[in-house]
């Protein structure tokens, strides 16, 4: 499926390492970070899952739940057993405690519904996809990395901050923005309305480029 930003995230029911879930029900009113990785018991994936586990507090502060999918499991184990055995390695080697769900998707139905398999890269394994999903169950961000490149989770946290900020205020975030820095007032706000909407102050650089301190701090 060719999903785009703004589309509703496909719902699914699945068995996971944390029990059976209905995806939309499991998300509830939280934000979701739904990721795929190529295979269990592989080196880059091991570092990624460990990193996510060690960032648990950062995701929780942002009311975000993490869910991970892979169709590449150990051949001599059932898919969930493969995930569970691999989690032991992740915890050991990355000094982590993985307690978020890893999804069973042996028939690749979920991976296919999210377009996580890119046939020109591999027709059997998922790439490193990231979907950020809002409480309204709509897709807010899509990023795909090749198997050779581990994800930058600082960037994923940064984008989550931006998405949550801009969902509630009439601002956008400039290049390389991180939480705490000035934001851009969106063009839809007349300059005459800025003092009322953004009482912390503002700077007019150009008629179309107005900045203001981050409004939710």
Q: What integer is the mean pLDDT of 57-65?
A: 98
Expressed as residue numbers, the domain containing 205 is 169-212
Phi, psi of 22 (to 5 degrees): -100, 120
Rounded distance between C-alpha atoms, residue 20 and residue 216, angstroms: 36
Per-residue pLDDT tens over the stretch 2-14 = 899 999 999 999 9
* 94 contacts 150 by C-beta, under 8 angstroms: no
Q: How confident is the model at residue 110 (pLDDT cuts 50, 70, 90)?
A: very high
Residues 139 and 32 placed together within one structural domain of the fold: yes
* pLDDT exceeds cutoff 90 at 1: no
Residues 46 and 106 placed together within one structural domain of the fold: yes
Asked if residue 3 is part of any domain, the answer here is no
By percentage, how much of the chain surpasses pLDDT 70? 100
Residues 40 and 134 placed together within one structural domain of the fold: yes
Q: What is the CATH number of the domain that holds 142?
A: 3.40.30.10
Per-residue pLDDT tens over the stretch 158-178 = 999 999 999 999 999 999 999
* pLDDT exceeds cutoff 90 at 86: yes
Tokens 């890119």 appear where? Answer: 118
Active site positions, annotated: 45
Q: Give me the pLDDT at residue 147, please.
A: 93
Provide the whole-model pTM. 0.95
């Amino acid at each position: 499926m060719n999903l785009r930003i703004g589309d509703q995230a496909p719902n699914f029911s699945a068995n996971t390492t944390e029990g059976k879930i209905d995806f939309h029900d499991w998300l509830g009113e939280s934000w979701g970070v739904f990721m795929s990785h190529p295979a269990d018991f592989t080196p880059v994936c091991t570092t990624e899952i460990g990193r996510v586990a060690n960032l648990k507090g950062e995701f929780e502060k942002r009311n975000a739940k993490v869910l991970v999918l892979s169709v590449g499991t150990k051949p001599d184990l059932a898919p969930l057993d493969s995930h569970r055995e691999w989690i032991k390695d992740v915890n050991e080697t990355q000094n982590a405690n993985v307690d978020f769900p890893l999804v069973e998707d042996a028939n690749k139905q979920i991976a296919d519904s999210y377009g996580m398999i890119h046939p020109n890269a591999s027709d059997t394994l998922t790439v490193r996809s990231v979907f950020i999903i809002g409480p309204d169950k709509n897709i807010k961000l899509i990023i795909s990395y090749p198997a050779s490149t581990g994800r930058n989770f600082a960037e994923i946290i940064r984008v989550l901050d931006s998405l949550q900020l801009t969902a509630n205020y009439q601002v956008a975030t400039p290049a390389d923005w991180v939480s705490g820095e000035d934001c851009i007032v969106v063009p839809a706000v007349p300059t005459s309305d800025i003092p009322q909407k953004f009482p912390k102050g503002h700077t007019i650089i150009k008629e179309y480029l107005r900045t203001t301190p981050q409004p939710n701090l």
